[in-house]
Amino acid sequence: MNNAHHEIIIAGMGGQGVMVIGQLLAHAAVLEDKNVVWFPAYGPETRGGTADCTVIISTSEIGSPVSSSPDTLIALNQLLLDRFAPTVKREGLILVNTSLAAPPRDRSDCKIVEIPANDVANKVGNSKAANMVMLGAYVELVKPVRLDSIKASMTEVLPERYHHLIPVNCLALERGAELVS
Amino acid sequence: MANKKLIKGNVAICYGALAAGCDAFFGYPITPQNEIPEKMSELMPQHGRVFLQAESEVAAINMVYGAAAAGKRAMTSSSSPGISLKMEGLSYIAACELPCVVVNVQRGGPGLGNTLPGQADYFQAVKGGGHGDYRLLTIAPWSVQECYEFMPLAFDLADRYRNPVMVLMDAIIGQMLEPVDLHGNFEIREYPKPWATNGAKGRARNVINSLWIDNTVMEDLNNRLQAKYEKARRHEVRFWNYQTADAELVLVAYGSTARICRTVVDLARDEGLPVGLLRLISLYPFPEREIEALARQGSRFLAVEMSAGQMVEDVRLAVNGISEVDFYGRTGGSVPTPIEILENVRNTLSGPRVASAQARREV
């Protein structure tokens, strides 16, 4: 995979932390002096609606903030996996949260990585950290940024009221990375 | 780049306004621009300036009218339906020759529409929008960095021309996060405002009014406005050429669509297709001479917008029949992808040419 340019779509339900892991990726890219664009799409609902964000990380200047066909899809649930799996570029990467979704059967050209993210998150002690498990696995697999940069971005990206959860989030990130290494 | 802050376009607008010396912000909430009033409610009081959430968009634009009349740098922001509500006020402000800045983070429409990106308020922005013969000077940022940098430009243009300035964005530009350098070294010019209604003690009373019963007085005002717009057409045209020198097909776009088209140019060039991009920065005044020059050079055009075809009309006026102008647009909150536009580029280039090279030479 070209390591100078990454186009990622992260998708799930509102409340699953889709936007947050996209922002962590974006912030980590800034820490590493890379160009980055993060762009969200969601309905008016705070929870229960669908949510997705596009992150483009590049060593050169970024034109379109919109991706025709992402290199990677990180899907946190079945509905959004089904919606976005067809858009992933040929021989791209699809990370599936298998706690909540069955891997796609019609994208045999892609590398499909199954992560039981909610189960792993439950084991580290916080079911809400499933998003971090997925992010840890993605960063370990593709290395668009370093895992350290993601960790260093937590205080900046997470609202202060969630800062006490940073240790468990970091643990979930590491577990995700270990699953695929 | 480590000194850069990762912020949304909407938030960058606020830092830009602050750097520009904006004295007062009046607004009313609407997605996808809510980060602007939210951030302004924090920043403006911190710097001893005015933030006020009005009871409606109509109230907000009239508060801008009042603050501008008092000689203050004032602004408001909204999104498409909210901007429609401000049109009466904008016509009054333009008629009174008052400076102010209005930010429109366009959403899908018409009607209440949705909170997704759109560019279908182009006509409203560049043709006046409200009643009467007036124009808004209109500029369109395409990055979060420019959201920051265009606010001092907007306030400067507003003061220099004593005219409302529209900063035309869309939900992509407003909502996206990009690293931004907030250490702008702007030259913030102060303009004397001897016309301001800021207390008449020791001088003759100033009157700011747009009701002139005498038609000769009203026509004089119109002539003054038109002279001003003519001056803007000479001095304030802004655009950016990308690979147009040898382009058989020039994409014309602004804002987020221009960003997408920039990627399309790279993809097309990879296929050996002679494609360039004319990115519009000022929408009014419109870069008509540049487009005419490209038409004479033999280029044909593909206007790309998130609308059913608005900016394309100004491209056609500028080309004036001496070359072909095609259009591709998405509406209602749908965003064109680079691949989708590239397919249109391929189709357009393989299509017949109607205007002859002879016509281009003769006109």
| Contact (CB<8Å) A36/B176 | no
Within 13 Å and on the Cβ side, how many CA atoms surround B125? Answer: 32
pLDDT higher than 70, residue B1: no
| Contact (CB<8Å) A30/B172 | no
pLDDT tens, B181-194?
A: 999 878 899 999 99
Which residue in this structure is represented by tokens 């608005």?
B310
> Final residue of a domain: which of B235, B263, B279?
B235
pLDDT higher than 90, residue B351: no
For residues B233 and B242, what is the distance between their CA atoms, to the nearest angstrom? Answer: 22
Q: Does B178 touch chain A (CB under 8 A)?
A: yes
pLDDT tens, A25-74?
A: 999 999 999 999 999 987 777 677 899 999 999 999 999 999 999 999 99
Alpha carbon distances (Å) from B116 to A46, B64, B78, B143, B170: 16, 27, 14, 17, 8
Residues B98 and B133 in one domain: yes
What pairs with residue B164 in β-bridges? B100
DSSP letter (8 states) at residue B2: T
Q: Does B182 touch chain A (CB under 8 A)?
A: no
Of A26, A39, A63, the CB nearest to B6: A26
For residue B50, the domain's CATH number is 3.40.50.970
pLDDT higher than 60, residue B269: yes
Helix (H, G, I), strand (E, B) or coil at A13: strand
For residues B50 and B47, what is the distance between their CA atoms, to the nearest angstrom? Answer: 9
pLDDT higher than 70, residue B358: no
Q: What is the mean pLDDT of residues B235-257?
A: 98
Alpha carbon distances (Å) from A76 to A50, A53, A55: 11, 12, 16
Residues B97 and B225 in one domain: yes
pLDDT tens, B83-125?
A: 999 999 999 999 999 999 999 999 999 999 999 999 999 999 9
For residue B126, the enclosing domain spans: 5-235
The mean pLDDT value of chain A amounts to 95
DSSP-assigned states of every residue in B307-356: SSSSHHHHHHHHHTTSS-EEEEE--TT----HHHHHHHHHHHHHSPP-S-
| Contact (CB<8Å) B6/A40 | no
Cβ contacts from A onto B, under 8 A: 67
Residues B27 and B153 in one domain: yes
For residues B262 and B183, what is the distance between their CA atoms, to the nearest angstrom? Answer: 27
Of B2, B260, B339, the CB nearest to A33: B2
| Contact (CB<8Å) B179/A68 | no
Distance from CA of B305 to the nearest CA of A (A): 14
Distance from CA of B3 to the nearest CA of A (A): 9
> Final residue of a domain: which of B212, B235, B258?
B235
Identify the closest residue of chain A to B179 by CA–CA distance.
A30
Interface of B with A in 28-47 (CB under 8 A): 31
For residues B124 and B135, what is the distance between their CA atoms, to the nearest angstrom? Answer: 10
Of B1, B172, B266, the CB nearest to A65: B172
Residue A33: its chain B contacts at CB < 8 A? 1-2
Q: What is the mean pLDDT of residues A74-100?
A: 97
Q: Which residue has the higher pLDDT, A3 or B252?
A: B252
Within 13 Å and on the Cβ side, how many CA atoms surround B363? Answer: 18
Angle subtended at Cα B111 by Cα B107 and Cα B117, rounded to the nearest 5 degrees: 15
Residues B271 and B179 in one domain: no
**Contact status, residue B242 vs residue B292, Cβ threshold 8 Å:** no
DSSP letter (8 states) at residue B211: -
Residues B128 and B91 in one domain: yes
**Contact status, residue B31 vs residue B173, Cβ threshold 8 Å:** no
Indicate the number of domains in chain A: 1
Residues B147 and B206 in one domain: yes
Residues B216 and B278 in one domain: no
Q: Does B4 touch chain A (CB under 8 A)?
A: yes
What pairs with residue B254 in β-bridges? B280
Identify the closest residue of chain B to A23 by CA–CA distance.
B177
**Contact status, residue B257 vs residue B336, Cβ threshold 8 Å:** yes
Within 13 Å and on the Cβ side, how many CA atoms surround B33? Answer: 30
Indicate the number of domains in chain B: 2
User: Assign residue B39 a region: left if phi > 0, alpha if psi is -120 to 50, beta otherwise?
Assistant: alpha
Angle subtended at Cα B286 by Cα B280 and Cα B292, rounded to the nearest 5 degrees: 90
Burial class (CB in 10 A: 0-12, 13-18, 19+), B309: middle
pLDDT tens, B282-321?
A: 999 999 999 999 999 999 999 999 999 999 999 999 999 9
For residue A144, the domain's CATH number is 3.40.920.10
Interface test with A, best of B5, B178, B342 (most A CBs within 10 A): B178
Of B1, B338, B339, the CB nearest to A33: B1
Of B6, B263, B338, the CB nearest to A27: B6
CB atoms within 10 A of CB B355: 17
Residues B73 and B199 in one domain: yes
> Final residue of a domain: which of B235, B262, B281?
B235
pLDDT tens, B133-167?
A: 999 999 999 999 999 999 999 999 999 999 999 99
Residues B219 and B350 in one domain: no
For residue A134, the enclosing domain spans: 5-180
The mean pLDDT value of chain B amounts to 96
For residue B278, the domain's CATH number is 3.40.50.920
- Banded pLDDT at A1 (limits 50, 70, 90): very low
Residues B66 and B176 in one domain: yes
Distance from CA of A99 to the nearest CA of B (A): 30
Q: Alpha-carbon Rg of chain A, whole angstroms?
A: 15
Lowest-confidence region among A21-35, B1-15, B195-209: B1-15
Residue B110 preceded by cis peptide, ω within 30: yes
State the ipTM, two decimals.
0.94
- Give the whole-number percent of chain B exceeding pLDDT 70: 97
User: Virtual CA dihedral for A23, A28, A34, A37, nearest 10 degrees?
Assistant: 0
Q: What is the mean pLDDT of residues A144-152?
A: 98
Q: Determine the pLDDT at residue A2.
A: 59
- Give the whole-number percent of chain B exceeding pLDDT 90: 94
Q: What's the pTM?
A: 0.95
Within 13 Å and on the Cβ side, how many CA atoms surround B313? Answer: 9
